[in-house]
Structure 1
Amino acid sequence: MEISHRIYVSGYVPPQAPVMMPVPERPPGCPPGLEYLTQIDQLLVHQKMELIEAIFGWETNNQYIVKNSVGQQVFLAAEETDFCTRMVCGSMRSFVLHLQDNTGRVVVTLTRPLKCSSCCFPCCLQELEVQAPPGTPIGYVVQNWHPFLPKFTVQNERREGVLKIKGPFCACNCCSDVNFEIMSMDETANVGRICKQWTGILREAFTDADNFGIKFPMDLDVKIKAALFGACFLIDFMYFENNQNNK
């Protein structure tokens, strides 16, 4: 007779399965996978901390868990770049980010081309393309030249400006959150925020694993919500990816 044995270790808490967000009904015209965004006005983005980065400083592909405001998992995001690109180009590297829903289906692809970066030259501006489903562009995030402020324009699939994003004069998050305000095109109304959250002195000093919060209007077009989601990742790479090396 086979006897099963269970060993319980004092203080050990078994890992908990993530709580998934229920799949809402997809409205007409909504790209597959973006139906989750129809019922969301906030997203929480948690970058997974990689031990090899903290110990050796070797840049690995970024991975993120995306949750709604009540902690339910909405998406998983994973970067796709090769080792040489990560080590040579660092935070300015080109990348492809794949967003999977809770069934493992890739529903959004974020693509950043390789461009030089210099605030002194208007020709050296960053850009991100948002595709949903993969292969179908639904929005863009384009950096705007400004002598001292981080500024971006969120565009729809026709390259028409819809929203602006304006960051602070200094993106250094010394013991505090860093807010990037989401504004109307004329910059007279604040409609949301992308917030780089302070994660504590040890994590900030030794890793580039960041946490972000994104807030936008509930009735905003899901394609623009996805573009703002993409803007969060572009901001992470541009201003916070190598922050542990700058302290």
Structure 2
Amino acid sequence: MANPAVADPLHNTAPPSYNTIAPYAPPVTYPPAPYLPAVDTVQLKGVPPGLEYLVQINQLILQQKFSVSQGSGRTFDVLDAAAQRLFQAKQHSQCCGPVYNVRLKDNSNGDILELVEDCGCNCTRQMKVYSRDAALLGYVKLHNNSVVTHLSLLSPTTEVILIIIGPGFETNVFGNASFEVKSKDEQHVVGIMKNESENQFLVSFPLDLEVTVKALLLSACFYLVRDHFILQKEQWISCVSLRPLINPLSADFVPIKKIS
């Protein structure tokens, strides 16, 4: 049976380059992302339509955008290492329907991926990842753990492909956080996920990773951005609002470190 982490289009039977993590971009503020020109792509075996760009990608940057008219939904640009925009993403908020729904489009406004979480309870949560032709690519499963962040990337048949381990949502309130992407036996580090700044999140992985797994890793970024870093801000705001007023000139005054 073929290894699910080997990309068929590359005709490579070797496993992904474990322990070889691509260098990530420095923590800088990128200028407005230029559009990646549309190209004629040939449908590759094992590559969902619209994801052909990911074949030669080993790093993605998720950059949140802000606008006065965005309302409660958030919008993102998905950039490559050269800060060229590959995809656009929008979180859709609605009173009825999925508790979490993100749709990714290419620069021609064509659908690429849809991320859907139906259950918002406190039990183990799971997000489905669909291609633009409504084919199920897999799941991102968030395990209930307050000490560490533990996510699993699952195949459509719920087989574990990779896992993501990092600091817990409640234990890392301040500062940047990094997450390791590991093989399912936790013996090999496949990649890194980290926030470069307040509005940028980066994921790096082997170039020869299967495209559908790259898409699942990108989907996991949205989970982490939503649950981890938004929670950080909420906790920081709560901490500031509940803190007793102290004279800044007093010896008892200790400034609170703001989230970078």
- The TM-score normalised by the length of structure 2 is 0.71
Q: Which residue of 2 aligns with 1:110?
A: 115
The change in CA–CA distance for 1:185 and 1:80 in structure 2 (over 3 A counts) is same
User: Percent identity among equivalent residues?
Assistant: 29
> What is the alpha-carbon distance in structure 2 between the residues aligned to residue 236 and residue 16 of structure 1?
20
* Offset from partner CA, 1:25-46 (integer Å, 9 cap, x none): 4322311111011010000110
The answer to which structure has the higher helix fraction is 1
Structure 2 residue 35 is the aligned partner of structure 1 residue 19: yes
> What is the alpha-carbon distance in structure 2 between the residues aligned to residue 98 and residue 43 of structure 1?
17
**1:170-209 mapped onto 2 (5 Å cutoff):** 170-174=171-175, 177-199=176-198
Maintained 8 Å contact 1:19/1:71: no
Q: Which residue of 1 aligns with 2:235?
A: 246
Higher relative contact order by CA 8 Å / sep ≥ 6: 1 or 2? 2
Q: Which residue of 2 aligns with 1:4?
A: none
Q: Which residue of 1 aligns with 2:59?
A: 42
Q: CA RMSD in A?
A: 2.3
Structure 2 residue 210 is the aligned partner of structure 1 residue 221: yes
> What is the alpha-carbon distance in structure 1 between the residues aligned to residue 172 and residue 42 of structure 2?
39
Maintained 8 Å contact 1:30/1:222: yes
The change in CA–CA distance for 1:147 and 1:61 in structure 2 (over 3 A counts) is closer
Give the deviation of 1:180 after TM superposition.
1.1
Maintained 8 Å contact 2:38/2:108: no
> What is the alpha-carbon distance in structure 2 between the residues aligned to residue 37 and residue 179 of structure 1?
22
The change in CA–CA distance for 1:145 and 1:246 in structure 2 (over 3 A counts) is closer
SS of aligned partner of 1:97: strand
Q: Which residue of 2 aligns with 1:76?
A: 88
Maintained 8 Å contact 1:21/1:73: no
Q: Which residue of 1 aligns with 2:142?
A: 143
Give the deviation of 1:144 after TM superposition.
2.5
Maintained 8 Å contact 2:38/2:107: no
Maintained 8 Å contact 1:140/1:156: yes
> What is the alpha-carbon distance in structure 1 between the residues aligned to residue 174 and residue 59 of structure 2?
21
Maintained 8 Å contact 1:45/1:65: yes
SS of aligned partner of 1:30: coil
Give the deviation of 1:243 after TM superposition.
3.4
Maintained 8 Å contact 1:50/1:60: no
> What is the alpha-carbon distance in structure 1 between the residues aligned to residue 32 and residue 143 of structure 2?
43
Give the deviation of 1:22 after TM superposition.
5.4
Q: Which residue of 1 aligns with 2:221?
A: 232
Give the deviation of 1:183 after TM superposition.
0.3
SS of aligned partner of 2:45: coil
* Offset from partner CA, 1:6-57 (integer Å, 9 cap, x none): xxxxxxxxx978231554543223111110110100001101124479xxxx
Maintained 8 Å contact 2:174/2:232: no
Structure 1: any 5+ residue segments left out of the alignment? 1-14, 54-58, 86-92, 118-123, 200-209
Give the deviation of 1:229 after TM superposition.
0.7
Residue type at the aligned position of 2:147: F
Give the deviation of 1:159 after TM superposition.
1.2
Maintained 8 Å contact 2:173/2:235: no
4+ residue runs over 4 A deviation: none
